[in-house]
Structures are given as C-alpha cells and as structure tokens.
Structure 1
Amino acid sequence: MSMSGKAVRVLLAASISVAALAATQVQAQEADVEASSGLEAIVVTARKRVENLQDVSASISALGATDLAKRFDSDVRDFANSSPNVLIDDTQQGPGGVAAIYIRGIGVADVEKSVDPAVGVVIDDIYLGQSSGSLLKAIDVDRVEVLRGPQGTVFGRNATGGVINLARSRPTQELTGKVRGSYSSFETYDLQGVVSFGLAENVALKVSGAYNSTDGYIFNRTQNQPGQKSDFRAIGAQLLLTPTEALEVSVSYDRQLTRQDPGQLQAITKPTDLFCVLGYCSPAPGVPISGDRYVSVGNAPVDKSARFELDMAIGKVKYDLGGDFDLQYIFGYLKTNESINQDFDSTPETLYHTDRPARWRQITNEVRLSMGGTGPLTFVLGGYHWDSRYTINLKNYIGFAGAPLLTSAQDVTQTTKSYAAFFEGDYRITDKLKLTLGGRYTHDKKTTIVNDGSIFIYGTLAEANPVAVIAPSPAAGLIVMANPVGADWSKFTPKVSLSYNWTDDVMTYGLWSRGYRAGGFNGRPATLSAATTPYNPETLDNFELGFKSQFLDNRVRLNGALYLMKYSDMQQDLDVPAPGTSTGRENRTINASEAELKGFELDLTAQITENFTLSGNVGYLDAKYKNFVGDIYSTGNPVDATFLKIRRAPRWTWDLRAAYEREVGPGTLMLNAELHHIGGHEITFLNNPNLRNGAQNMLDASISYKIDNTMISVFGKNMLDENGWTIGYDVQNVWSYAAPRPPQAFGVAITQSF
C-alpha cells in the first residue's frame, strides 16, 4: 500500500479509537452524559422525500444548517470536502464559473454546452443543465447533499456520477435573517444577507442579496496589473403562501450578474509543440512559459469585459391529499447570457483567441405524487419534461496559421427535448427488512445546426483591410447546413436495493442502480461529418454494498460502502487535429467503449465531548478503461487506448475536520480546522505528464467568537499553499494550457443574525 494509503488507514483508525475512548470516558462521567444529547439527525431529500440520512440505503454525505454556519464557503467547490471521492474545480474557460465536477472519477470538464454534465447540480429541485454557472455561490444555502453513484431513477439522465443537491431556507413568518461581511486576500470584499418576514397571516417573504469584488490571484505581467478581477452581484426573493393547511404555494426569482476579466490561463509547451518552435517554450517540464503559475503573460484586455447573466424562476405547488398522499408540481425556468473574449494561447501575441457570446434557456416541469406514513409501502411517482436551447456565435482569432492574422466564425444552435416517467418505492417486508424498487423511462430528442462564417485573412495583426476572404462553402472545407439534423434516444434506468436493520442504529444494504447520459452532437466541430454524426449515450451500472450506523449513545456516526461501477460507451471529450479546416482543430466527443471503477468510502462523525466534534471521510478509487479502442490521435487509425488513466480519478481522497466550542466570557469561542487530501491524478485525456497533479493537501481553519447574535471570525483557506492545476487541456502538437488552484488566503468576517 502507498504512503497515502497507510496514512489514511492510520488516520481512520486513530479517529475511531479516539472517538471510542472519549465516549467511554464520557459515559463514566454522568454529568457530561446528561449535558450532551449526541449528534443531531440529518434530514435529506435525496429521493425527493424527506428522510433521515441513516434510513437511506445509498451513499450520501450531507451538511446541515448548523455545519454550514461555521464554514466560510465561497461556492460549490468548497462543499467537495464534505464527501469522499469528489473533486470540484473552476476550469477558468468561461465567465460565471465553469464547473468541473467529478464523483468517483465520473464528470465533465468542458466549457461547451453541447456536452451534458455527468454530475447533476440541483438547487431547490431544479436541475442545472450546463456547466457554466454551476459553481453556485454559497448564498442562503441551508443544506448540501452529495449523492454518490448514478441517480437515474429520481434525478434522471446526466447524473451518472451523482448529484450535488442544494436546498435554500424557507421564508418564515417571524422576522429572521443573517448578514455576513468579509474581507480577505487579493482585495476580496464579500457581503451577503438574507431576511424573512410575514406579509400577512398566510404569506411570508424572503429576500436575499450578495456582492463580491476581488482583484483575483493572477497577475498579468504583460498588462502590468491584476488579471483576474471580478464583480458579482445577486438578488433573489421567494414568496410563500399557505392559504389552507393542505395547500402550499411558493414562487421565487433570482438574478445574478458577473463582470470579470477573462480567465488567465497558463501556456505550457513541450519542445515538439508549435508554440515552442515560435519561441514560447516552457522553462522546465510542467512550468508555464511565464515561469510562475500565478503570473500570466497573455495580451487580452483585463478590463472586466467578460459578462455572465443568470435569471432563474421557480414555482411550486404542494397539496396534501390526505391519507399520507402529497401532490406536488414544480416549474423551473433558467436563462443565461454570457460573453467573453478569451486568450487561450496565453502568450504576449494573438496566436489563438476566441470571442464566445452564448445564450442558454431551459424550462422544466415536474409532477410528483408521494405516499409517506408509517405503513409498509411508501413511494414517489412522477413525470418530468425538459426543454432547452442554446446558441453560440464563436469567432476565432488565429495568429499561428501562416498569415499574421486569420479570423473564422461558427454559429451553433442545439435544442433538447426530454420526457420521463419515474417511480421509486419502499416496501417493508418485515420490521427489519426493506425492499426498494425504482425505475425511470426517459426519451430524449436533440437537434443541431452548424454554419461556418467567412474566413478573413489580414496582412497584419490588426483586424482591418483583409487581404483575402474565403466565403463559406463545402468546396472550401467549411460547414454549411440549411436545416438542423436530429437524433433521439430512449432508456430505462432501474434501481433495486435490499436493506436490513440489525438494530435501531445499524443498517446494511445491497444496491444495484443504473445511470444514463444522453447522446448528442459535437458543439465545436470543424467538419460536416463531425457536426452531423451523433455520439452514443453512455450507461453505468453501479453495484454497492453499504452500511449506516450510530453507536455510543448516538455520539458516533459511521457510514460506509463498497462499490463496483461498470461503464458502457463511456463518453470522453478531447481536442483532435482537423487538417484543412479553418482552425485545424476540433472538439470531439467519443465513446470510450468500457470502463470499470471500484473502491470504498467511509464517512465518520464523532462527538468526542460536549465541546469537541471530530469528523472526516476517506475514499479509495481504482478506475480503469476496459476494451477501449479509438482514434484518439485523429489519424484515421484506431488504437488500443486502455493504457490511458481515467482523468480526475485520484486513488485516495480523505478529509479530517475538527470543531471545538466553549463558553468564554460573555460569549462562545469556536475553533474549526479541516485538512483535505487529494491524491495524485491525471487532468488531461491523453495523460500529458506536464499537466499531471501530484498529491495535494489543503488546510482551512477559522477562529470565531460569538456574543448573542454577533460573530467575529478570522479564517484561512489553503493555508499550506498548494498550487495544483484545476484544469489542463491539450491542443495536440500545438500547446497545452492550464489554470492553478487558488493560493493561500486569509480573511476576517463579521456575521450578524436576528
């Protein structure tokens, strides 16, 4: 076993031993036992029903309102630590935060909206269908659930890896609220607040808002100024009406605007890359051409010209039918509008820039009939409708194609319509034995239309007075489509589990579930064949054995699972050469035949004493391709590619958190620390050694003092100053680019509750 593996084993054993020893000592001290009531129950809605975490026969980690109040999370990335085998990063490839979310080695790290997510991000029951904007800010988040493994039954397609399920607080009749302001490294100012109050006897309103401004952690040496500045503004409101005891209606609206500098990527080259021939060579393997991961030399403007706008509306109606039956309707609307001119070459010249205005719109409708109660049968039955459309008007600025400057353009519009019916129910065969059966039938239809614009060739680097113009035509090797093409797919995704309660506090289960990610069309093609030929759906079968347990008077909670996941037609996105086309490149999604992922996970929380809580998790993952033969080098000759390692699949991840509270003077002193480990892993499809991440250890900590409803905090993030890559991308034989992890940062915050 590796040193990381030994460390994890020792760490876990020590944690359990300390918990057991401390609990034994506490049992011997009657006063302490009476003063503590054990761990509070965690309520989750992972199956679209309200349940205790310990009763759900699936791998779930969760953070409740109490835990979240003690953290200083910025966005969804900070929630990753709460669960084993989870990686979440910002790819820096677009405005608004483009998420790369991986669970158990399954995910997507591409900016194109044609590439469906493999991990679903859900907020207040609404699934976000694109990676852009999925790094949701930690504003008014009341509960975080990380569901590991395919969630095809109740969450549907595009949740093969799992789901990040976020829930916000509900409006209250009483006047309640919270405001937090903070200042931290890199001139970062953050202000967020939420307030709820009653408008009438059966009407409550919640209003939230946030503002964040930062200079960012990248310095642009070419422009001689900070190169990652951004401003974020958000406002939201939710109205809750309860006209009768049986009827509940809620309507919410959120508006967000981000203005930021384009992402400051780092060029990394090998001696054989074209950029190195042009004079931009990495000084050493894995080192950017600037010589420093936090120094950029790109020549694009750093003037907050990139924009990301988000509008989201959610409507819900819930009616209590009586007899343990509830009927619920959920409507969701999400629209985003973004623009960015990004320097992908990351050199002082215009070698490869893109202008990428894009628009996205999704509408969802969901109806659920739920049966709860204490009888032997409980279930949820529902129907789901999805309708989305996106358009991108891409323009490329190419300075390495022969002439001083060449521009090309491409317009892509894709639509998706999806219909689904689903069921999941529990039947208690005995008081201890429970059978769960579920299934979802999904039908997807997608269309695409792609048209290239004219190619302009200029005699200088200025975009003026072209010396040649190539009009779009098939003869010129450009894509011309008069009408969209379409394809459709249907899939049934079942689930079966059997659980047994050995005692009130110990449950074991066996689970088989299937996930499904729809097929689709390439969103950045360079040839007509790549534009019109769909790639196939992927399916994933998950076999899992797990347990849930609480012991020592509910002072210790230990959950775990063994899993084996088998992939069929695994989708992988990569950049490949496309000779004779306007850019010479294209983005292509291929089906990587088969893959196998297996491992185990443990999740521990222990109340050592009334004042001290220790928690943590550990995940082990062995991910390998099986029978993978593909044209990965775009030579026209498929090769055996099983030698490749699956990206973003570290063998070990673990996390250890400690929280201590004690009454000191007129208030409460709170100490929190968290150490998070990510094992070494690949971040590029072709396993570029210059973009490989070694093992990383991130330490966060905070000290807070609370008097009544006022809390003053000092906090640090990534205090060990790890600088691993969060994104790496190969443009084969030309160059590669990457972005580093946010560095060490410190801050102070004041929180006022009422």
Structure 2
Amino acid sequence: MGMVGQILRLVIAASTSVVALAASQVQAQEADAEPSAGLEAIVVTARKRVENLQDVSSSISALGATDLAKRFDSDVRDFANASPNVLIDDTQQGPGGVAAIYIRGIGVADVEKSVDPAVGVVIDDIYLGQSSGSLLKAIDVDRVEVLRGPQGTLFGRNATGGVINLARSRPTQELTGKVRGTYSSFETYDLQGVVSFGITPDVALKVSGAYNSTDGYIFNRTQNQPGQKSDFRAIGAQLLITPTEALEVSLSYDHQLTRQDPGQLHAITKSTDLFCAGFGYCSPSPGVPISGDRYITVGNAPVDKSARFELDMAIGKIKYDLGGDFELQYIFGYLKTNESINQDFDSTPETLYHTDRPARWRQITNEARLIMGGTGPLTFVLGGFHWDSKYTINLKNYIGFAGAPLLTSAQDVTQTTKSYAAYFEGDYRITDKLKLTLGGRYTHDRKTSIVNDKTIFIYGTLEEANPVLAIPPTLAGGAIVMGTPAKQSWSEFTPKVSLSYDWTDDVMTYALWSRGYRAGGFNGRPATLSAATTPYNPETLDNFELGFKSQFLDDRLRLNAAVYLMKYKDMQQDLDVPAPGTSTGRENRTINASQAELKGFEVDLTAQITPEFTIAGNVGYLDAKYKNFVGDIFSTGTPVDATFLRIRRAPKWTWDLRASYEREVGPGLLMLNAELHHIGAHELTFLNNPNLRNGAQNMLDTSISYRINNTMISVFAKNLLDENGWTIGYDVQNVWSYAAPRPPRAFGVAVTQTF
C-alpha cells in the first residue's frame, strides 16, 4: 500500500489545491455575475441504464451534447482528449481507419481481425468486434462516455482496458435538424447533416448523411502527388415506433463507404537492417525516415484511391415497460464490413514487401435485459448475450527481398467465434448513504481457425507477369495445409464488487474490485503449421480502485478522482519471430508470456468560474511494468528475463486543459474555446525500438464561433503547435521498421445551421 498511499495523498493534495483555486475565483466573481444554474448534469448509460455520472461508482469521463456542439471532432480519436490515461491513434495499416485504442496502458495496435480488441468501442449498444472501422466518425454523436478499467461484467469479453460508449440522438416528433459544412487544410471538405421529424403520432424518423473528401497530409515523392487522398460517404436512418406508452421499437440502418489511397508508411532503418545494408535504403539519422521528412513518403505503390472499406450496420431494439419499475429490453445487431487494400509496407521506391489484403467481416449479436429501476433499495440489470462472428482474409505477399527478383505467396484464413454469456449487476442500498454493488458475468467462447497456403510464384523481374517457377503448397517446405479447422473453447467468470458511501448529497466515495477478460484465439498471420493450430489462452485483469465523486459551490464545480492498481495475468503478447524455410521467413505469434502491474491515479475537474467562463481538465498518472516475464524476445532460441521492457503506449503522464468563454456580442453569441492536451513520452514497439519512440507531445486546439439565432460560423485550428509524433511503429527485427506520423497543424472554417 506504500505506493498506493503516496498516490492517494498526491490526489488529495492536488484536488484540494484545485478546489481552493476554483472556489476563490468563483467567489471573486459572484458579486458581478448573474445567478447561474450551475454545470449541466451529465446522463450516462455506462451500466446499461440511465444514471447521473456522479452516481456511478467507477471511473468515467463523459461529454454531453452541449460540449460536443462546441468541438470540431473528426472521429473517435478526438474524443479521447476528454479523458485521462487514454491514447487513440490511426495505425494507417488498413482502410477505413484501423484503431489503436489504449486505456491505462491496455490496448491493441494490430490490423489482423484475429486479434481481439482490448478496449471495446460501442455505438448504440452494439459492440464493434474488430479494430478496422472502430475510428467512428463524429456524425450525429449525442454523448461520449469513456469507461476506464475492466468492464467484464456488463460489457463482457475484450473490454479489459475499458469501453468507449457512443450514443446517437433519438428521432423526434418535432422537425429538428443540423447541417454542418467545413473546409480545412489539405483540401479537406466535410459535410454532415441530420434531420428528424414525425411521420405519424406514433412514428418518428431520423435521417443522417455525411461526405468527406481530402488530399491528406502526406505527399508521395515517388509518385509526385498527394499520397493520402480519400473520399468518405455515409447515410443512415432510424425509425422510432411507440404504439403504446409501454412499448418502444427502434430500427436503424447505416451504410458507409470509404475510398482512399493505401496508408502511407515510412521506412525507418538501422545500418544493420537488411533494407539498409542490402538495398541502400538507410535512415539519414536515428528515428528519421528514409525520405528525410515525416510528411513525405517514397513508396512505389499506386496512390489512386484503390483501397476500399464498406460498412453496413443494422440495429433493432425493443423496450417494454412491465410496470412495477421493471423494463424488458431486446437488442439485435448486425455488422458487415468488406475491405480491400494493396499496401506498400516496405515504403521504398522498390517492391520489397507489399501485401494485398481483401477481407470480409460479419458479426451478429443478440442481447436481452431485464432492468429493475425505481427508488427502492434494490435496482439491477439481468441479461443474456449471444455473439456470432466470421471473418475471411485472402492475403497475398509480394516479396522482393528474399533472393529472387519477385516472389508472391498467398494464404487464406477463415476464423469464426461463437460466444454466450449471462450477466447480473445490482445495487442494494444498505442504508440511505451506503450502497453495495455486486455483479458477475459467465462467458463461454468457442473459436475455429482454418489456414491454407496457396501456390508460391517466382518471377524473373519485379513485375507480376510470366512466372519462372510455381511451387504448390504440397511441395513447399513448411507450407500450411489444413483440411479441417482447429477448434478451442474457453470459459471465464468476471466478477465485480463495489461499496459506495454518500457523505452528502454532493460527495460520494467508493471502493471497487472488477475483473476483465480478453478471449483466447488463434494466430491470424502464421507461417508454420504449429503457429496456425496452437491456440493462445485468455488474459485476465483485476482492477482495485478507490475514488470519489463530488460537486461543490451550487453545482458550479465538479471534481472526480480515483486511484487504481491493476494486475494482469497471462498477458497476451504479439511477437514478430523468424520462420526459416517459409516464403516470408517470418511470422507473427501471440503468446501468453507475462504478468504485469499497472497503477496510478486520475483526476477530472470542471468548474464554472462565471456564467460565461468554464474551465475543465484532467490529469492521469500511470506506472506500468511487466512482472514475471520470461520469453525468447530476441528470437535466439534462448528465453530471457524481459521485465526490463517498457509496456507499449503507456505514458506516465497525460493531461488535458480546456477553457470555454461565451458572451453576447451584438445580435449574437460569441464563443471562444481552447484545449491543450499532453501525452507523455512512450514506447510504440514491443522491443522498445528507440527509433520508434515518442517523446512528450502537446496538442493545442482552438476555435472562435459566432452564433446568430440558429446559424453559427466558426474558425478553428487543430494541433496548433504542430506536433509530429508517431501514431504507429512496427519493428520487423533485423529487416526494417515502419511508422506513420500524427496529423500536422490544420486550420478550418465551418458553418453550422440548426433548426
């Protein structure tokens, strides 16, 4: 408890200082300020029922509709700034936005759909089961909730780090709507709109649409043109049917299509790497791409918007009020994605390593809930959940560094997952002030995987024409040939216990223990039969947390904080290892290699200094370390003690400071907003490659808006300090490394019309 006690004392000291400062500022302004209604209450559905943020005994940050209307977020990445200890990046490894989402140092940054997420992204109660497409666009988002720490009870598998829960607006009987048009740097055009109206007294319809086109912030010197062009289109509709006061039916459908240039990666090489020593593509200095500029690439793949990501999603919900504070809910979800991309991973003017990756994903979910609300001593949610998913990838490698001028190898992978779960979480008020929360979820997973290598072709030149040799998989040494799929099942129970005490109507403290569970699985990028058929086991995470929620000064100041200790067991690690005798000579394996301990604290503050001036901020501290980690991390055949490695994407410090000022000027309202977000130094690669390490970064966003009646004109800047840290770093040991930079400084103007 020594470290935890020190952290707790720091939290209390920092919180006391902030409260005192805010209180003095508020009191100084009270004489001149008009009476204020205080901060807007934030309603969340983090526990699958409607609650006030301040009543939930766990770590949650949230943005409501009022806050979101003042921001110019493009996708889920921008939402992360509202929460401490959160990192979200686009890995640029596939079409549609491949998310690397980390909360408290826990997450996944891999393009393969065989790798389950460690942080859940949920939209309108539907969990997205893959990283591709998880960078959801900021279209018609009404509320964003960031749940930190394992959410194994109510959200289940693959939410060990936490959950990002997004909710969209509901259809209304009145004619309402919003349209926003934006022009910003890099020839970026964005148009979004949503309109809602009643069809009959019992039926309301909402229709939404979006279009985005950009040249991107990367220039391809080899092709002599912008290398990150994309077009995005989306359309959606939702029907809300209320035939009786007790019954509500909601049906929605969304279609999205992205056409874009393949991701523009940068080759970063050491003098000992093959691409440098053997081909002369050398970084001019450590950490610098071979192009010499993070925003200039030299890859030779076409930049012709040939990459494609298509998404279709249907959601059906039924709610029935049974009376007596009981409500029955049923939620159906269907998600299908289809993608294709030919990507230049070597990022050189030659074809050293490219891939063609057409992939298809389909998931179906069914969930039933019985909810007991009301004001009695007992409230609960009881549910059952069913998951069914399937994905197929037809991978093709283009290899120009293996000896022959060009070698192509292909591999078909199909994996399925079926999961069943039953869960319960209930609150019982022992007294008016003391509340006990108990929960648990039992999950059973069943996975299958079948992998088959295809014919290897060898060509006399770097062009894929007129092969000089064809080697069928039956003759290729080490080729994977599977007639039937490999199968494996796992079961896990994830409990939750918390005790909270209301010291006053505005101050609550809590103690929490919860467990998260990330499913086991099969390698999706194997080069050997052993890697294809040997499953890896689930990982579990136990979270011990102390926290408080508080509001002061007539609800003008909201202060929440928590201190936590999390213990990882059977932590899954992705390793790039040699595979001699195979077409690529390498493979990616997931192993249960380590234990880890993560501890820290988080503070969240919002203060209404005057009726016109509001400040908000947060700070997160994280100490993440491996424990009992022994593995063959250097691919020498000899396991070593690997606890000296630093955990990826786990900066010690993150913090965010926001300020908002509003004042009547002339016939309208002037709004000024600024946000400074800090991410501490952190590793991006498993082996802590210093050439792919991020230093501390500070991102400043600002905006000035003027609203007259229902029309708002805004000018904004993003990343005003022009930070250029890496969003992805991948190390192919002794061959080369690749990376991609974060978006640079950008300016824009937007016009928003509401009605």
TM-score, length-scaled by structure 2: 0.98
Aligned residue runs from structure 1 range 549-568, under 5 A: 549-568=550-569
Provide the residue aligned with 2:623 in structure 1: 622
Whole-Å Cα distance in 1 between the matches of residues 624 and 247 of structure 2?
A: 48
Superposed CA deviations along residues 577-628 of structure 1, whole A, max 9, x for unmatched, are 1111110111111113200000000000000000000000000000000000
Provide the residue aligned with 2:205 in structure 1: 205
Shift of 1:468: 1.2
Whole-Å Cα distance in 1 between the matches of residues 409 and 444 of structure 2?
A: 36
* Contact 2:117 2:129 survives alignment (8 Å): yes
Whole-Å Cα distance in 2 between the matches of residues 498 and 532 of structure 1?
A: 44
Whole-Å Cα distance in 1 between the matches of residues 424 and 587 of structure 2?
A: 40
Aligned residue runs from structure 1 range 171-570, under 5 A: 171-277=171-277, 278-473=279-474, 476-570=477-571
* Contact 1:470 1:476 survives alignment (8 Å): no
Q: How many residues align structurally?
A: 746
Provide the residue aligned with 2:79 in structure 1: 79
* Contact 1:376 1:427 survives alignment (8 Å): yes
Q: Secondary structure at the match of 1:487?
A: strand
Whole-Å Cα distance in 2 between the matches of residues 325 and 367 of structure 1?
A: 13
* Contact 1:223 1:299 survives alignment (8 Å): yes
Q: Does 1:598 align with 2:606?
A: no
Superposed CA deviations along residues 334-369 of structure 1, whole A, max 9, x for unmatched, are 000000000000000000000000000000000000
* Contact 2:268 2:290 survives alignment (8 Å): yes
Cα 1:15/1:664, change in 2 over 3 Å: farther
Residue identity (%): 87
Paired residue type of 2:56:
V
Paired residue type of 2:569:
S
Shift of 1:12: 7.3
Whole-Å Cα distance in 2 between the matches of residues 641 and 704 of structure 1?
A: 52
Cα 1:257/1:426, change in 2 over 3 Å: same
Shift of 1:25: 2.0
Superposed CA deviations along residues 10-39 of structure 1, whole A, max 9, x for unmatched, are 997775444111222244x2x7352x0111
* Contact 2:658 2:675 survives alignment (8 Å): yes
Superposed CA deviations along residues 699-725 of structure 1, whole A, max 9, x for unmatched, are 000000000000000000000000000
Whole-Å Cα distance in 2 between the matches of residues 26 and 737 of structure 1?
A: 53
Q: Does 1:664 align with 2:656?
A: no
Gap runs ≥5 in structure 1: 2-6
Paired residue type of 1:261:
D
Q: Secondary structure at the match of 1:158?
A: coil
* Contact 1:8 1:618 survives alignment (8 Å): no
Provide the residue aligned with 1:127 in structure 2: 127
Q: Does 1:170 align with 2:170?
A: yes
Paired residue type of 1:328:
Q
Whole-Å Cα distance in 2 between the matches of residues 612 and 180 of structure 1?
A: 25
Shift of 1:8: 11
Whole-Å Cα distance in 1 between the matches of residues 461 and 705 of structure 2?
A: 58
* Contact 1:474 1:480 survives alignment (8 Å): no
Shift of 1:464: 1.3
Provide the residue aligned with 1:143 in structure 2: 143
Query: Please, what is the CA RMSD of the aligned residues?
Result: 1.4
Whole-Å Cα distance in 2 between the matches of residues 9 and 432 of structure 1?
A: 22
Shift of 1:124: 0.0
Provide the residue aligned with 2:705 in structure 1: 704
Shift of 1:286: 0.1
Provide the residue aligned with 1:4 in structure 2: none
Provide the residue aligned with 2:739 in structure 1: 738
Of 25, 28, 35 in structure 2, the residue corresponding to residue 25 of structure 1 is 28
Q: Secondary structure at the match of 2:392?
A: strand
* Contact 2:339 2:360 survives alignment (8 Å): yes
Whole-Å Cα distance in 2 between the matches of residues 652 and 590 of structure 1?
A: 29
Provide the residue aligned with 2:157 in structure 1: 157
Provide the residue aligned with 2:7 in structure 1: none
Provide the residue aligned with 1:582 in structure 2: 583
* Contact 1:557 1:605 survives alignment (8 Å): yes
Whole-Å Cα distance in 2 between the matches of residues 562 and 100 of structure 1?
A: 25
Q: Does 1:45 align with 2:45?
A: yes
Q: Secondary structure at the match of 1:570?
A: strand
* Contact 1:662 1:669 survives alignment (8 Å): yes
TM-score, length-scaled by structure 1: 0.98
Shift of 1:655: 0.2
Q: Secondary structure at the match of 2:582?
A: coil
Whole-Å Cα distance in 2 between the matches of residues 723 and 11 of structure 1?
A: 31
* Contact 1:506 1:548 survives alignment (8 Å): yes
Whole-Å Cα distance in 1 between the matches of residues 52 and 653 of structure 2?
A: 28
Q: Secondary structure at the match of 1:592?
A: strand
Whole-Å Cα distance in 2 between the matches of residues 635 and 323 of structure 1?
A: 66
Cα 1:748/1:12, change in 2 over 3 Å: farther
Superposed CA deviations along residues 365-385 of structure 1, whole A, max 9, x for unmatched, are 000000000000000000000
* Contact 2:11 2:561 survives alignment (8 Å): no
Shift of 1:474: 6.9
Whole-Å Cα distance in 2 between the matches of residues 89 and 149 of structure 1?
A: 19
* Contact 2:189 2:212 survives alignment (8 Å): yes
* Contact 1:179 1:194 survives alignment (8 Å): yes
The farther-off stretch of 530-539 and 569-578 is 569-578
Paired residue type of 1:172:
T
* Contact 1:649 1:681 survives alignment (8 Å): yes
* Contact 2:158 2:519 survives alignment (8 Å): yes
Whole-Å Cα distance in 1 between the matches of residues 518 and 55 of structure 2?
A: 28
Whole-Å Cα distance in 1 between the matches of residues 136 and 634 of structure 2?
A: 35
The farther-off stretch of 571-580 and 455-464 is 571-580
Whole-Å Cα distance in 1 between the matches of residues 410 and 550 of structure 2?
A: 58
Paired residue type of 2:89:
D
Whole-Å Cα distance in 1 between the matches of residues 657 and 89 of structure 2?
A: 20
Shift of 1:639: 1.4
Shift of 1:573: 1.4
Paired residue type of 2:134:
S
Superposed CA deviations along residues 49-74 of structure 1, whole A, max 9, x for unmatched, are 10000000000000000000000000
Shift of 1:574: 2.6
Superposed CA deviations along residues 410-438 of structure 1, whole A, max 9, x for unmatched, are 00000000000000000000000000000
Shift of 1:329: 0.1
Paired residue type of 1:630:
G
Whole-Å Cα distance in 2 between the matches of residues 453 and 16 of structure 1?
A: 65
Provide the residue aligned with 1:99 in structure 2: 99
Whole-Å Cα distance in 2 between the matches of residues 666 and 311 of structure 1?
A: 44
Paired residue type of 1:103:
I
Paired residue type of 1:498:
L
Provide the residue aligned with 1:680 in structure 2: 681
Gap runs ≥5 in structure 2: 4-9
Shift of 1:475: 5.7
Paired residue type of 1:336:
T
Q: Secondary structure at the match of 1:80?
A: helix
* Contact 1:26 1:33 survives alignment (8 Å): no
Superposed CA deviations along residues 71-90 of structure 1, whole A, max 9, x for unmatched, are 00000000010000000000
